Copies of this chain bind each other. A is one copy, B any other.
Amino acid sequence: MSTPNGTGEDGTDLDRSTVVYDLDSQCGVEDVETGNKYHATVNGVVEYGVFVDISEQLSGLVHSSNLIGTYDVGEELIVELDAVREDGDISFVEVQVAEYETEPVGPGTRAATVDFEEIAGEQAHLDGQAVQIKQTGGPTIFQVRTPNRVVPCAAFEEAGVRAYPGVELDDYVRVTGTVEQRDGAYQLEVDNLSVLSGEAAEQVEDELTSSDAIGAADVEPLVEWPAFEKLRDDLSAVATRLRETVLSGRPIRIRHHADGDGLCASVPLQYALERFIEQTWEDPEAPRHLLKRLPSKAPYYELEDVTRDLNFALENRNRHGQKLPLFLMLDNGSTEEDTPAYENLAHYDVPILVVDHHHPDPDAVQQFAEHHVNPYLHDEDYRITTGMMCVETARMIDPDVTDELRHVPAVAGIADRSEGEAMDEYLELAAEEGYETPDLRDIGEALDYATYWLRYNDGREYINDLLNVNCDDRDRHERVVNLLSERAARDVDNQLDAAMQHVTEEDLDNGARLFRIDVENHARRFTYPAPGKTTGKIHDRKVAETGDPVITIGFGPDFAVLRSDGVRLDIPEMVAELKEDVEGAGVSGGGHLVVGSIKFVSGMREEVIEALVEKMAEAEIDEELGSSAVTPEEA
C-alpha cells in the first residue's frame, strides 16, 4: 500500500514496517496527512530551526526544539507532519527511524481508492497495469487496472498519434492526471504516465494479484450434494479465472451447446459477468465489448466456428486494441472432436476453459484447456448438468444474482433428463419460486424451440425472457413460455403423426427391439423437430409403449441417429469398428455410450446400417441402464 493516508498515526502498526513517503515534486497538501513520515530536504536554515521541502509545493518549519540533528541547506532528513495551519503554514517534527520502507507518492488524490465523482476536476494519480491500449483518432486510451477497477486514462500526444509509445500492454504504470468526465465515464486526463519497474512494479503486481476483487465469492451451493462437492474447487477456480480475465482486459467469448442445458449454463454466466464488468470497468460500453455469447452450430466446436471466431478476434485486436479473447466452452468442448479447433486457438495463445458434462476425452482436451471441469473426471457423470455447475459459478462471480437463478438448475436437469440425487431438491427450490415441474419442462421445450428458430443467433433478450433470467416481467415470461412450448408440442405431434406408421420393428437376437425410421423420407424436413429430436421422440414413445429394451435408429441419406434404453451399447467403440469393417463408407461420428450419431457416404448407407445392427444385436441387455441425457440433433 503506497497511500500515505492508509496507515496509523504513529508507528504502532505491528504488521508492517514503518513507511516513509517520498513525495513527487508536484504533490500538494491533498497528498499528505498529519502523523505520516516524509523524506525532506533542507532549503533554509534560520535561528529557530530549519525550513524543509517535502515537495516543490510543500515546505515548512522544523522548529529547533523538534530537531534532532544539525543540518545545512541541501541535506536530507526524515520528518513527521505535525500540523497544517489554516493559513497554510506547515510544521514538522524530525524523527529517527531505525528501519523503514520508502513509498513513492504521486501528486493528487490516489484515484483508485476514492469515488471519482468526489474528485471530479481534481488532480489524481494511480498505479496499475495497462491492460488495454487503444489508439483513437484523438488521444491514446490506456485502460489501467487497479486492484478493484479498470480506469480509462486518456493521453494526448497529437491527434491519432500513439502517446507514450514506450508503454506496452501489461506494463505496470504510474499515471498522474485530472479526473474528467467524458461520454459518461470518468477518466484520467493524463499529465504523466511512466512505466514502473523493479520494486515499484512488483508492489503493484502484488496489489493486483492479491486483490479481493479477483477471488471467487465463497457461496454455499444452492443444495447440499456430495457428488457436486467434488467439483466446487474446479468451479471456483473457473470463477476466479473469469473475474481475473475481466480485470485483465481480456474479452470473453462464450461458446455453448445450442440446447436447454447449454442455455441454463451460459445465460447465468453471461448475466453475472456483465454485472461484474459493470462494477469494475468505468467504461459503460465495456460489457458489450468484453463479452459475447454464441451457440455453436454443431455439438462440438467446429473449424468453421473457430475460423470465424479467430478472424473476428484478430480484427478487434487491430481495430480496437483488444486482447485476444478467452474462450469459455459450456456444455460442449470435452471431446476429441474439439481439439482441431483448440489447436488453432493455441497458436494464438488464447486461453480456453471448458465446463461440460459430456463424456470427455481428458487427454485430448487437457493439453489445450487451462481448466477442464467435467463430472466424469471425478467419477461422476452427466447427471450433474452443465447448467447446475454454471449457476454455482455465476454465483461465485456475483452472489447477488442468486435470487434470479434458483429455478435454473431444475430447468437444466429436466432438459437433460438428469436423474441426479439432487434433482428433488432442485425441484423443490424451483417450486418455492413458483415453478412446478411441468413449468420447468415447458421452459426447456420453449428454449429448445426458440433456439431452433433463432438458428444460432444468440437471441439475447428473447432467451432471457424465456429462462426468466435478467427479465423484468414474469407474467410475460410465462405467456411466452406457454406459447412456445405449446407450439413445440404441436409440431412434435404433427411430425409423429406422419412418422409413426413408417417406423419398422424387428427383434434382435439379444432380445432388444429395434425400431427404424427414415427421417428423410417419412418426416417433414427443414422444420421443427429436426431429425435427431424426431428420432428421440419416437424412441421415447416406443420405450413407453413396450417397456422392453429398445434401440431406435433414425436414418437419412448419409447419417443415422441412435438412441437406446436397456442395452449396454458403446457407440464410440462401434463407430471405431465400423470405420475398419466397412471400407469406402467414410464412417465418422460418436457420442455417448448409448446415444449418438453416425455419418457415412450415402452410397454405403445400407452396408453401414446393417453392420451397425449386427453389432447392436450382440450387445448385452441391461435393464438398469437408462438412456443418456443428451440427444445429439442434426439436420
Contact = CB atoms under 8 A, between A and B. Distances in A.
Given A311-B461, A487-B303, A476 B348 contact: yes
Interface string A456-493: 01011110010000000000100110011001000000
Contact of A518 (B186, B344, B603): B603
A615 interface: no
A454 B520 contact: no
Contact of A158 (B117, B160, B480): B117
A585 interface: yes
Contacts of A285: 137
A479 B182 CA distance: 42
A197 interface: no
A136 B525 CA distance: 46
A459 B522 contact: no
A308 B159 CA distance: 36
A483 B306 CA distance: 13
A455 interface: yes
A344 B584 contact: no
Range for the number of chain A residues in contact with chain B: 35 or more
Task: Tell me the number of copies of this protein.
Answer: 3
Contacts of A586: 494-495, 497-499, 523-524
Contact of A344 (B315, B483, B583): B483
A89 B243 CA distance: 69
A233 interface: no
A501 interface: yes
A51 to B, nearest CB: 43
Contact of A160 (B185, B497, B521): B185
Contact of A453 (B159, B181, B304): B304
Interface in A84-100: none
Given A311-B462, A476-B348, A603 B521 contact: yes
B520 A461 contact: no
A581 to B, nearest CB: 13
Interface string A510-551: 000000001011111100000000000000000000000000
Contacts of A284: 137, 160
Interface in A152-186: 158-160, 181-186
A310 B462 contact: yes
A576 interface: no
Nearest to A463: B311
A440 B117 CA distance: 58
Nearest to A475: B347
B347 A138 contact: no
Nearest to A482: B347
A251 to B, nearest CB: 15
A219 to B, nearest CB: 28
A416 to B, nearest CB: 23
A343 interface: yes
Contact of A183 (B137, B344, B465): B137
A307 interface: yes
A502 interface: yes
A520 B462 contact: no
A223 interface: no
Given A183-B138, A476-B347, A303 B453 contact: yes
A310 B483 CA distance: 14
A593 interface: no
Interface in A333-350: 340, 343-344, 347-348
Interface string A304-326: 10011011001101100000000
A501 B583 contact: yes
B307 A502 contact: no
Contacts of A461: 311, 314-315, 317-318
A68 B603 CA distance: 105
A601 interface: yes
A450 interface: yes
Contact of A459 (B158, B307, B494): B307
A552 to B, nearest CB: 17
A599 interface: yes
A604 interface: yes
A522 B487 contact: no
A520 B499 CA distance: 23
A625 interface: no
A355 to B, nearest CB: 25
A1 interface: no
Contacts of A159: 181-186
A207 interface: no
A557 to B, nearest CB: 8
A558 interface: yes
Contacts of A584: 497-502, 522
A211 interface: no
Contact of A525 (B502, B520, B521, B558): B558
Interface of A: 117, 136-138, 158-160, 181-186, 284-285, 303-304, 307-308, 310-311, 314-315, 317-318, 340, 343-344, 347-348, 450, 453-455, 457, 459-462, 465, 476, 479-480, 483-484, 487, 494-495, 497-502, 518, 520-525, 558, 583-586, 588, 599, 601-604
24 contacts: A136-B184, A137-B183, A138-B183, A138-B184, A158-B181, A159-B181, A159-B184, A304-B455, A310-B462, A311-B454, A311-B457, A311-B461, A311-B462, A314-B460, A340-B487, A497-B584, A497-B586, A498-B584, A498-B585, A498-B586, A498-B604, A499-B586, A524-B588, A524-B599
Given A311-B462, A501-B584, A521-B603, 4 more contacts: A137-B184, A137-B285, A158-B181, A314-B461
5 closest A-B pairs by CB:
A137-B184, A498-B586, A160-B184, A314-B461, A521-B603
